Amino acid sequence: MPVFEGTLVAPPDARFAIVASRFNEMITQRLLNGAQAALAQHGVAEEAVDVAWCPGAFEIPVVAKTMAETGRYDAVVCLGAVVRGATPHFDYISGGVAGGIQQVMLDTGVPVLFGVLTVDTIEQAIERAGAEAGNKGAEAASGAVEMANLLRQLRVD
């Protein structure tokens, strides 16, 4: 019985998009650094990665959709930081970005990775952006490489 599994070595011609939001940029820049470092570790050249910045996490889905629809990318990595303490709109923004990203992924068939922190405090965000709890940007980027490989195996075109 065939078993399909994506490896963490990027296909030589694979291209990736990263969408990063500027809100809480001190955090999202660290997520971006982690994502870029992880892609490089998985064999992705710098020229094979395009980065788009948008104002806040709420705008991420439409940027991801626009990039996914170009057909240029194997996967899109979304990076943001929504902090509960900073906004009474936390639930709207975090729900909107999570649901939007999921919708883009299913509508386009392009893997869209959720590297958006939804946390209670800025300290929790710092922990997840490179300190004790790892770097969620790097995790999302590794997931993008795995998904790129997996979908290339599963497609029969």
Residue 16, SS3? strand
Q: What share of the chain is helix, strand, coil (3-state, %, to 5)?
A: 50, 20, 30
- Is 86 an interacting residue with respect to ligand INI (CB under 6 A)? yes
Give the whole-angstrom CA distance, residue 57 versus residue 79: 8
For the chain, the maximum distance between any two Cα atoms, rounded to a whole number of angstroms, is 51
Q: x/- string (CB under 6 A) for ligand INI, residues 127-156?
A: ------------------------------
- Is 20 an interacting residue with respect to ligand INI (CB under 6 A)? no
Q: How many residues does the chain have?
A: 157
Closest to ligand INI by CB, 6 or 80: 80
List the interface residues with ligand INI, window 39-58 (CB under 6 A): 55-58
Smallest separation, CB 124 to ligand INI (Å): 12
Give the whole-angstrom CA distance, residue 21 versus residue 37: 18
Closest to ligand INI by CB, 24 or 142: 24
89 is catalytic: yes
- Is 89 an interacting residue with respect to ligand INI (CB under 6 A)? yes
Integer distance in angstroms from the first to the last C-alpha of the chain? 21
- Is 92 an interacting residue with respect to ligand INI (CB under 6 A)? no
**For residue 46, what is the DSSP state?**
G
Residues in contact with ligand INI, counted by CB under 6 A, come to a total of: 16
Catalytic residue among 72, 89, 106, 152: 89
Bridge partners, residue 16, by sequence: 49, 75
List residues near ligand INI by CB under 6 A.
Answer: 21, 23-24, 55-59, 80-83, 86-87, 89, 93
